[in-house]
Amino acid sequence: MAKVIIGIHGLSNKPPKELLEKWWKQAICEGLKNVYSDDATDCKFELVYWADILHEKPLDETITDTDNPLFIDEPYKKGLSRRKYAVTEKKKKVNKSVLHFFSHFLLNKDLSINYTYITDVIVHRYYKDLEAYYYKKKEIGKEETFIKDLIRKRLIRVLKKYKNDEILLLAHSMGSIIAFDVLYSFEKEFNIDTLVTFGSPLAFPVVIGKIAEEIKTEFPGLKKLKTPESVKSKWFNFSDIEDKVAIYDLLSSDFDKNSTGVKVVDFEVYNDYKANKERNPHKSFGYLRTVEIAKVIFEFISGTKPILKKRLRFKFLRFLIDIKIKKR
């Protein structure tokens, strides 16, 4: 059984699949090489690409006009630092109290959406791709098909391709919604060793309500969402506190464990991606090269705990020697 990493991208238009897949691999390798061993990147990787379903033309790296809608304003760029991220408890408490109130305001105890006219306005204004995913259809030949079904088929096809392999699924942003929907609906068909969600809006009240609405057609008594049964070993969720798409960062509060005890574990990370001196804490490349995600990827590939690179080990040993000398 081989090991394979599958990625699924998130919101908005993207460069062509080949280029975006290349950039994801570079970001993954950057994270591994910065922290662990250089030979840990030899693993099959495939990106599930669905931007072309919603966007007629992909972003184009040959376009230099910044006013052109197909200009790539946030290409892959190597990170400049491995700075740790810290957030004050005061900021955390303010955020959580507001979010807690907002959740109870928009979502009923039975997971049905309250004040749908408000949530529809929010989704329409700020999340165009999400609106299309839940509400719109696309004409294929002589038939109209729901956008969500077309997008899900992309992931299903790739998961079936590697159904006999050990899978690590990396799901960014809206990709985490697509991944959850597919894994929950086809939980007996797929075996995912490790699910990694990052920059995820899964705990946003509207999203929880839409997921529950679909599940309730088969299980009307649903009270709380849970980890899909198809996730066999681990589910990790990573978020930057300044990532507005992942503003509801604690998925463990809204998703229960599955029958085998797998429950989502949340981590705060620092997304260091910058373009034109502006930091984007939601960018996939910045997430993929974080120390925390690199650790998960390394352990999946190697089956062992990561070993620090030689230069880091040397610095640590030098530190210990210096302490001993000072004590004498």
| 6 bridge partner residues | 46, 169
Is the pLDDT at 194 greater than 70? The verdict is yes
The pLDDT of residue 68 is 97
**Which residue is listed with tokens 């992942």?**
246
The pLDDT of residue 180 is 97
**Which residue is listed with tokens 């280029």?**
19
Domains and CATH numbers, the chain: 3-327 (3.40.50.1820)
Least confident stretch, 27-36, 170-179, 303-312: 303-312
Confidence of residue 70 (pLDDT cuts 50, 70, 90): very high
Is the pLDDT at 326 greater than 50? The verdict is no
Q: What is the pLDDT of residues 72-119, one digit of tens each?
A: 999 999 987 555 555 555 556 556 655 665 566 677 787 777 767 666
Report the percentage of the chain scoring pLDDT > 90: 58
Q: What is the pTM of this model?
A: 0.87
Radius of gyration in angstroms for the set of CA atoms belonging to the chain, rounded to a whole number: 21
**Which residue is listed with tokens 């408490």?**
93
